[in-house]
Amino acid sequence: MLVKLIMALVLLSVTTMVQVSIADTSFIFNNGFQSANLTMNGISVITSNGLLQLTNETGFQKSHAFYPNPVVFTNTTSFSTTFVFAIRPQSQTLNGHGMAFVISPTKSFPNALIGQYLGLFNMSNNRDPKNHVFAVEFDTLQNFEFGDINGNHVGIDINSLNSTKSAPAGYYANRFHFQNLSLNSGVPMQVWVDYDGSKKQISATLGSINVNKPETPLLTLSQDLSEILTNPSYVGFSSSNGERIASHYVLGWSFKVNGEPQKLDTSKLPKLPRLRGNEQSRILPIVLPLLSLCAIALAGLSIVHYINWKKKFSEIVEVWEQEYGPHRFKYKDLYIATKGFKEKELLGSGGFGSVYKGLMPGSKIEVAVKKVSHGSRQGMREFIAEIVSIGRLRHRNLVSLLGYCRRKGELLLVYDFMPNGSLDKYLFNQKPGVTLNWMQRFRIIKGVASGLCYLHQDWEQVVVHRDIKASNVLLDSEFNGRLGDFGLARLYDHGSDHATTHVVGTMGYMAPENTRTRRATTKSDVFSFGAFMLEVVCSRRPIEQGREEFILVDWVYGLWKKGEIIEAKDENLGTEYKTEEVELVLKLGLLCSNSKAEHRPNMRLVVQYLNMEVPLPDFPALMSSPSCCGFKCGSNQDLENFGMSFPSSGTDGYHSRTSIAESVLSGGR
Ligand SMILES: *[C@@H]1O[C@H](CO)[C@@H](O)[C@H](O)[C@H]1NC(C)=O
Ligand SMILES: *[C@@H]1O[C@H](CO)[C@@H](O)[C@H](O)[C@H]1NC(C)=O
Ligand SMILES: *[C@@H]1O[C@H](CO)[C@@H](O)[C@H](O)[C@H]1NC(C)=O
Ligand SMILES: *[C@@H]1O[C@H](CO)[C@@H](O)[C@H](O)[C@H]1NC(C)=O
Ligand SMILES: *[C@@H]1O[C@H](CO)[C@@H](O)[C@H](O)[C@H]1NC(C)=O
Ligand SMILES: *[C@@H]1O[C@H](CO)[C@@H](O)[C@H](O)[C@H]1NC(C)=O
d(Cα 164, Cα 156) in Å, to the nearest integer? 6
pLDDT tens column, 5-56 = 555 544 444 444 434 445 689 999 999 999 999 999 999 999 999 999 999 9
Overall average pLDDT of the 402-417 stretch: 83
The matching CATH number, chosen from 3.40.50.720, 1.10.600.10, 3.90.870.30, 1.10.510.10, for 424-663 is 1.10.510.10
SS (H, E, C) 300-328: HHHHHHHHHHHHHCCCCCCHHHHHHHHHE
Q: Is 35 in the pocket of ligand 1 (CB under 6 A)?
A: no
Who lines ligand 5 at CB under 6 A?
126-127, 145-147, 162, 458
Q: What is the CA radius of gyration of the chain?
A: 29
- Give the CATH superfamily of 321-416: Phosphorylase Kinase; domain 1 (3.30.200.20)
Are 150 and 326 in contact by the 8 Å Cβ rule? The answer is no
SS (H, E, C) 592-607: HCCCCHHHCCCHHHHH
Cα-based distances in Å from 166 to 24, 139, 254: 29, 10, 23
d(Cα 628, Cα 617) in Å, to the nearest integer? 12
pLDDT tens column, 127-163 = 999 999 999 999 999 988 899 999 999 999 999 999 9
Identify residue 89 by its one-letter amino acid code. P
Identify the three-state secondary structure at position 362: coil
**What's the 168 CA to ligand 6 centre distance in angstroms?**
9
pLDDT tens column, 501-533 = 344 566 677 777 766 666 778 898 999 999 999
**What's the 105 CA to ligand 3 centre distance in angstroms?**
20
Task: Decide which of 1 and 174 is more confident.
Answer: 174
What rounded mean pLDDT belongs to the chain?
80
d(Cα 291, Cα 280) in Å, to the nearest integer? 13
Overall average pLDDT of the 76-90 stretch: 94
d(Cα 30, Cα 190) in Å, to the nearest integer? 13
Q: Is 76 in the pocket of ligand 4 (CB under 6 A)?
A: no
Q: Name the pTM for this structure.
A: 0.51
Burial class, 117, CB count within 10 angstroms (exposed 0-12 / middle 13-18 / buried 19+): buried
Q: Is 222 in the pocket of ligand 1 (CB under 6 A)?
A: no
pLDDT tens column, 623-635 = 533 333 333 333 3
Are 82 and 192 in contact by the 8 Å Cβ rule? The answer is yes
* Distance, C-alpha 10 to centroid of its chain: 56
* Per-residue model confidence (pLDDT) at position 328: 76
Same fold, 22-261 and 321-416: no
* Per-residue model confidence (pLDDT) at position 603: 95
Are 181 and 175 in contact by the 8 Å Cβ rule? The answer is no
Overall average pLDDT of the 456-472 stretch: 83
Assigned CATH class of 22-261: mainly beta
Q: Is the dihedral of CA 117, 122, 125, 131 positive or negative?
A: negative
Cα-based distances in Å from 347 to 44, 353, 358, 478: 34, 11, 10, 20
Q: Which of 424, 467, 476, 570 is catalytic?
A: 467
371 annotated as ligand-binding: yes
Question: Is 148 noted as a catalytic residue in this protein?
Answer: no
Q: Smallest Cα–Cα separation from 471: which of 553, 532, 410?
A: 532
| DSSP 3-state percent helix, strand, coil across the chain (nearest 5) | 35, 25, 45
Sheet arrangement for strand 61-66: 39-42, 61-66, 234-241, 98-104, 134-139, 153-158, 165-168
Burial class, 105, CB count within 10 angstroms (exposed 0-12 / middle 13-18 / buried 19+): middle
**What's the 249 CA to ligand 5 centre distance in angstroms?**
29
pLDDT tens column, 174-190 = 877 888 999 998 999 99
User: In the beta sheet, which residues pair with residue 171?
Assistant: 179
Angle, alpha carbons 123-427-472 (nearest 5°)? 60
Region of 273 on the Ramachandran plot (φ > 0 left; ψ -120 to 50 alpha; else beta): beta
Identify residue 311 by its one-letter amino acid code. K
Show me where the domains of the chain are located.
22-261, 321-416, 424-663
